Amino acid sequence: MTTLVIAEDSFLVREGMVRMLASSPGLQVLAACEDFDAAIRAIDVVEPDVVLTDIRMPPTRTDEGLRVAGHCRRKHPATGVLLLSQYADAGYVKGLLADGTEGRGYLLKERVGDLTDLVDAIDAVASGRSAIDPKVVESLVQRRARAGDNELAALSPREREVLAAVAQGRTNAAVAAALHLTQKAVEKHINSIFSKLGLTGDQHNHPRVRATLMYLSDQRN
């Protein structure tokens, strides 16, 4: 059983998620909170496997979700955090992943209504993996491209596809299946991508996800 705390200030969205997730076997919502302080109290008491949190909540409606994620990283490192946002914001992505991608996810609210997408993301962060919405990755890639990023422009169309899949948190096997490639071909593309972008990272584990996402969310360009 995967236990959850939901932090969302909209009553309709919050109750909708509670009811939707209650229908999914293997998931149990332990608390549903409407602001940052209530969320922190609930997390400290029940120590859930995963926290689903809006980014903007009372009292300031600015970065409460990121602060929830930071609190969990410090006090409850085994708790996964799935940020829910209306925006594919590079700053939020960078803030969420500043301390690592393990057990972290970023999902657009438009996908919350799809139970399969939501449960898949919950399962990923609960198991210590990352889950980044494909539309968020696409937005980050487009932003870098519009800024005239020379390194990104050097990637082939296939390498861009592999880059996007890696940034979503997919394993080599999952990338290979999605793009109809062999795992050896995926590894070759990843090596080329990291070389062209000047990145470093473990080719088989989460650091490569963080490397690609931090590159894409870099706001200097």
Q: Are 17 and 8 in contact (CB under 8 A)?
A: yes
Digit-coded pLDDT (tens) for 155-189 = 999 999 999 999 998 889 999 999 999 999 999 99
The answer for residues whose C-beta is within 8 angstroms of residue 146's C-beta and 6 or more apart is none
Digit-coded pLDDT (tens) for 53-96 = 999 999 999 999 999 999 999 999 999 999 999 988 888 988 99
Query: Which residue shows structure tokens 């795992």?
Result: 183
| pLDDT given for residue 101 in this prediction | 87
Using CA atoms, how far apart are residues 64 and 84, in angstroms rounded to an integer? 11
**Mean of the per-residue pLDDT values for the chain?**
91
pTM of the entire structure?
A: 0.88
Digit-coded pLDDT (tens) for 113-134 = 889 999 999 999 999 999 999 9
Q: Are 20 and 115 in contact (CB under 8 A)?
A: yes
Residue-range domains of the chain with CATH:
2-132 (3.40.50.2300), 136-216 (3.40.50.2300)
